[in-house]
Structure 1
Amino acid sequence: MATTHSVDSSEIAYERHGDGQPLLCLHGGMAPRQYWRPVLPHFREYAPVIPQRPGFGTCLDNMAETSAEGVLDREAQYVRTLVDAVDGEPVLFGHSFGALTAIEAATEAAVDAVIAYEPAVLPEGYRQQADLADRMATLVDDGEREEAVKRYIEQVLHPDGIDEFDAWLSEWPVWPDCVELAEEVVRMNRAVEQYRLPETLDVESPVLVLTGTNGPEFLRESARDVHEALPHSRLVEFDGVSHSGPGEAPDRIAAAADAFLQR
């Protein structure tokens, strides 16, 4: 693992694969290295960079002090630090909260392009009734960490339900490692519930916004809203793909991304 340091001297660890243009892969609420494994073989022309996101395996002295209000700023800052650390102008490839982070980071970082799969933005009507963070926090406080993460998976990743859920979990590459991330996922969800999409996102780089028909309808709606708020963006929807698009259909996602980047 290579390392760099942020402006507050916190250590940021990351993996780099290949020798092409840097492709910074920013994950959402699950374990980073495991999540991107299916994606890597489909981006051989690039150099995927997989950071260990703050709170997801790194030891930051100020981690416990980061409030929900400060989580997105913290995330965007560490991405900007990585942008400065790699050679050339990278592409930011974010999934879910990582997609929102990529867009926020690109407002102040020199990047070649952004790929954002279903940014974690809640439409206004949905956000007003969102309570996933509270429900997860209650379970964590009661010592039910696995159940807390299961609520996240059920609501965000597979809202239509999964047959034989526990059997599916046993085959899921990031389970049970992601259970250790429960508190950080709660903070992340609070940040999402508080975030309000501005009318215009100040991103000069071109952005590819991706979504799938089998994920939560509110995330498909938010993908369209984000697309409309960006000055230079393209929206692509994948039929039959869920919120886990990059890991579920990496060949289709990579083909769309490569076509966009070769514009």
Structure 2
Amino acid sequence: MPTTGTATAADGIEVEYERHGDGQPVVLLHGGMAPRQYWQPVLPHLEGYAAVVPQRRGFGTCLDDPEETGPDEVLEREVAYTRALVEDLDGESDEPPVLLGHSFGALTAIEAARGLTADGESDAIEAVVAYEPAILPEAFAEHADLADRMAARLDDGDREGAMKLYVEQVVLAGEVEDLDGWLAEWPVWPDCVALVEEVVRMNRAVERYELPDRLDVDAPALVLAGTEGPDFLRESARNVHGALPSSRLVEFDGVSHSGPSEAPERTVAEVRAFRDAH
């Protein structure tokens, strides 16, 4: 059975998390619309690690004032809470944690590591693993309007339609013919519709993010991607790999944007191999 804990961020807000197993902590940061249950397929493969799964604010009951959180604050907020969690884990293991993020969680992991490096605390984490970070290539970002299109559907009262647009464009890369049929078999649908406002805010944050020429991250990084996800995210993974001073890029053939949950054994195997190499 998992244990529960809380980490207190600088703003005084407590971030809840679950801890599964014992060993070196691996902090699992989920992406844009999947709750922390996204990591359930991964957990059985993390034997020998302590899997730490936070409840991202806005993706449960813990966001007190969602309307007060603007898009410019979303990423900063996520980074702050991740760093608070890393600090809370300090001393619980002989080894610092690994940050493993998917999509927006991968961007959060990279930015958290970047901030730790800037503050001279790069030894607070052992490594960063980022599966298809939610970073838009420059040419794509110039025309990105997913947040506006989702917001327009929300303004019309079509919450389900707004979330369908996100699933179609990001999760499925616009390559499914029967969206409703696919959704009927998707375990998180329609519960995830309740998260739509946070997903719009997150998408605005992604659309405004600019990848620097160099990501100053002292910790070694593993960047993962799948060949069956959106082309722009695969391109972004390569761009992130090129901007990191010390990274390895691995592409999973035949795997989509939902790589960690779709191919959990392969994902964890790459994490173990990467950790052993460093």
Query: Does TM-score exceed 0.5, indicating one fold?
Result: yes
Cα distance between partner residues in 2 of 1:124 and 1:58 = 35
> Structure 1 unaligned runs (5+)?
none
Q: CA deviation at 1:70?
A: 1.2
Residue 183 of structure 1 aligns to a residue whose secondary structure is helix
Q: Is the aligned partner of 1:95 residue 2:109? A: no
Cα distance between partner residues in 2 of 1:140 and 1:24 = 33
Cα deviation digits, residues 159-218 of structure 1 (max 9, x gap) = 142243223212222222211100000000000000000011111000000001101111
Q: Is the 8 A contact 1:11 1:60 kept in 2?
A: no
Q: Give me the TM-score of the superposition, normalised by structure 1.
A: 0.96
| Superposition map of 1:209-220 within 5 A | 209-220=223-234
Cα distance between partner residues in 1 of 2:62 and 2:50 = 26
**More deviation in 165-174 or 63-72?**
165-174
Q: Is the 8 A contact 2:103 2:133 kept in 1?
A: yes
Cα distance between partner residues in 2 of 1:141 and 1:11 = 32
Question: For residue 11 of structure 1, what is the aligned residue in structure 2?
Answer: 14
| Superposition map of 1:81-230 within 5 A | 81-86=84-89, 87-88=92-93, 89-109=96-116, 110-230=124-244
| Superposition map of 1:25-36 within 5 A | 25-36=28-39
Q: Is the 8 A contact 1:120 1:219 kept in 2?
A: yes
From the superposition, tell whether residues 38 and 220 of structure 1 become closer, same or farther in structure 2 (CA, over 3 Å).
Answer: same
Q: Is the 8 A contact 1:32 1:51 kept in 2?
A: no
Residue 202 of structure 1 aligns to a residue whose secondary structure is coil
Q: Is the aligned partner of 1:232 residue 2:255? A: no
Cα distance between partner residues in 2 of 1:15 and 1:177 = 21
Cα distance between partner residues in 1 of 2:227 and 2:114 = 28
**More deviation in 96-105 or 28-37?**
28-37
Residue 217 of structure 2 aligns to a residue whose secondary structure is coil
**More deviation in 201-210 or 140-149?**
140-149
Residue 114 of structure 1 aligns to a residue whose secondary structure is strand
Q: Is the 8 A contact 2:168 2:179 kept in 1?
A: no
Cα distance between partner residues in 2 of 1:161 and 1:194 = 25
Q: CA deviation at 1:236?
A: 0.4
Q: Please tell me the root mean square deviation across aligned C-alpha atoms, in Å.
A: 1.2
Cα deviation digits, residues 65-114 of structure 1 (max 9, x gap) = 22111111110000000000112411000000000000000113321001
Q: Which amino acid aligns with 2:82?
A: V
Cα distance between partner residues in 2 of 1:107 and 1:160 = 32
| Identity across the alignment (%) | 64
Q: Is the 8 A contact 1:137 1:148 kept in 2?
A: yes
Q: Is the 8 A contact 1:13 1:58 kept in 2?
A: no
**More deviation in 247-256 or 165-174?**
165-174
Cα deviation digits, residues 91-150 of structure 1 (max 9, x gap) = 000000000000000113321001100000000000000000001111112111111111
> Structure 2 unaligned runs (5+)?
117-123
In the comparison of the two structures, how many residue pairs are matched? Answer: 263
Q: Which amino acid aligns with 2:137?
A: P
Question: For residue 121 of structure 2, what is the aligned residue in structure 1?
Answer: none
Q: Is the 8 A contact 2:34 2:192 kept in 1?
A: yes
Q: Is the 8 A contact 2:146 2:203 kept in 1?
A: yes
Residue 44 of structure 1 aligns to a residue whose secondary structure is coil
Cα distance between partner residues in 2 of 1:191 and 1:66 = 11
Cα distance between partner residues in 2 of 1:37 and 1:262 = 24
